[in-house]
Structure 1
């Protein structure tokens, strides 16, 4: 279990107040621990969380009534968010905040200033956000439970999911639920989405591998290192042609989207496009035609570009490139093929 505080701020001055004075709104300050007289922290949130996590009497004293609860439930073949006000919390609701309990369940506790505690695992199965408000003292006012295990099982029903498919579907569910989360909470959902996809990829899901690379490159989830992204895309491209197109781009720009860049690995990029084309991707054929026509990756080869456009048209894709090159008098003889014989990667 890891305890993380996302701040460098250190507040050293504490003031003390009793529960009676707190109720009257007459005090502010930091917590002091006393089994008979729990006290509060209004200046240092991280220190308050330590006491709140460890001491049941602090928990009982500093929870608003009602406390808002958000939970994800199944709704037919989808998941939906349900919110309600609770006059009291179940005894076990706050147990995951105790470091020893979190450690047993392989959970990470993160104190995110100014007022949140995030408890999560590393595979996208568990995510709870505890939100506190500050008046004369800190008080827990909202719990967001974004854990999807029960919802995904209910949605799947009797469907038998292949290894990694459950994690892929969970990641996709997180992606849809982001629209129902606040901007402050959405960042945590994106991280759990990525973790779900990565878990699915480890179990052999090509879809999950492709999705993990995509959400990382999008900037919404944490950025994986380039070696990991490359590994995910290579894995996915073996069975998903569209992943081959993304892989071709990544070989060229490594996720740095700058039109002025020179392709970093041109041969690997072309090989990825050719592999995708061999898997039946007309988009890859068109991209190959554009590459040979414009000379952006390899030297210009208009006859080969024409051959690629013609191949795409044979497969039912209208090609403006073919019309454009034909108007210039470009032809591709029978000896010129878009794809070179054999695999080039």
Structure 2
């Protein structure tokens, strides 16, 4: 056989093999383009497209979850991960939100929050603009895992709900999170729900949040209704009801008590029921304050004595200072 012919034949075969290989190798798929410069429009496309999610999720991406520290104090933990856990982005889809009865709102124009009414579902998706929008952080804010840890003995369902509100209020009190304001609102909603189911603590906590200005103010009629419902079984509610009759739910009220007679009557009824040093002290201060009706110093001092007898430290200190200034309890004066 002609050696030259053999060499040319081999070269042709190799060339043919190279052509076959080139044809059979698939071209690399192009990355999907940016669906929109407008973030809400981008999220709508991103939420239903695995390809967009893969392309426009930061690598690594930050994942944040709630946890307890070694002192059982609620904290958050952040980790850089190469990929989010399966299903983490499921609730970005508006159809999934509608089926689950969820709502959304934006924080600082770059964070989409998906939530239900009482904090059972609460997730935040934080985006950042580069050449296109990128998901840079996923925050899971449901505190269900925390509620299942460090559970108080014999805790009732209502007590668990109030504890849930306390956790969210605690996160809000730190004032370090994007959702700070919402945490207070959510805590109040949970407390109000607990109050409707019979929780006195839920009622008083919700009202305090309204007075604080961190959550929406509660209508005066509802404040009175809640406090009247719970005042006969909770001394805190009874004390708050007394103050309500002075300010009628107006957080800016600074003038005289609007109904000093009813305020004092409420305290007297509560004292007879609970025999509480704190309630005796409240009545004492009412009786000695000219803004809460005509002052009655002898009776007020007698109430301070009763409060001090029951271990109310503030009353003991006040009484000592008044005696030093020659305001001494009068023989025969009584509180009630």
TM-score (norm 1): 0.76
Shift of 1:71: 0.4
Tell which has more relative contact order, 1 or 2 (C-alpha 8 A, sep 6+). Answer: 1
- The equivalent residue for 1:135 is 130
Shift of 1:194: 2.0
- The equivalent residue for 2:79 is 84
Q: Distance in 1 between matches of 2:35 and 2:247?
A: 52
- The equivalent residue for 2:322 is 324
Q: Determine which structure has more spread, i.e. the larger CA radius of gyration.
A: 2
- The equivalent residue for 1:219 is 213
Q: How many residues align?
A: 302
Shift of 1:323: 6.6
Tell me, yes or no, if structure 1 residue 270 matches structure 2 residue 264: yes
- The equivalent residue for 1:146 is 141
Shift of 1:135: 2.1
Alignment CA distance shift 1:73-1:322 (3 Å): closer
Q: Distance in 1 between matches of 2:39 and 2:220?
A: 36
Q: Distance in 1 between matches of 2:113 and 2:53?
A: 16
RMSD, aligned α-carbons: 3.0
Alignment of 1:228-307 (within 5 A): 228-258=222-252, 260-278=254-272, 279-307=274-302
Segments of structure 2 that go 5 or more residues without pairing to the other structure are 1-28
Segments of structure 1 that go 5 or more residues without pairing to the other structure are 1-18, 24-36, 340-345
- The equivalent residue for 2:17 is none
Whether the aligned pair in 1 keeps the contact of 2:224 and 2:241 (CA below 8 Å) is: yes
Higher relative helix content: 2
Q: 2:335 aligns with which of 306, 313, 338?
A: 338
Shift of 1:180: 6.1
Which 10-residue stretch deviates more, 243-252 or 125-134?
243-252
Alignment CA distance shift 1:75-1:104 (3 Å): farther
Alignment of 1:23-172 (within 5 A): 37-42=32-37, 44-74=38-68, 77-156=72-151, 159-172=153-166
Whether the aligned pair in 2 keeps the contact of 1:131 and 1:141 (CA below 8 Å) is: yes
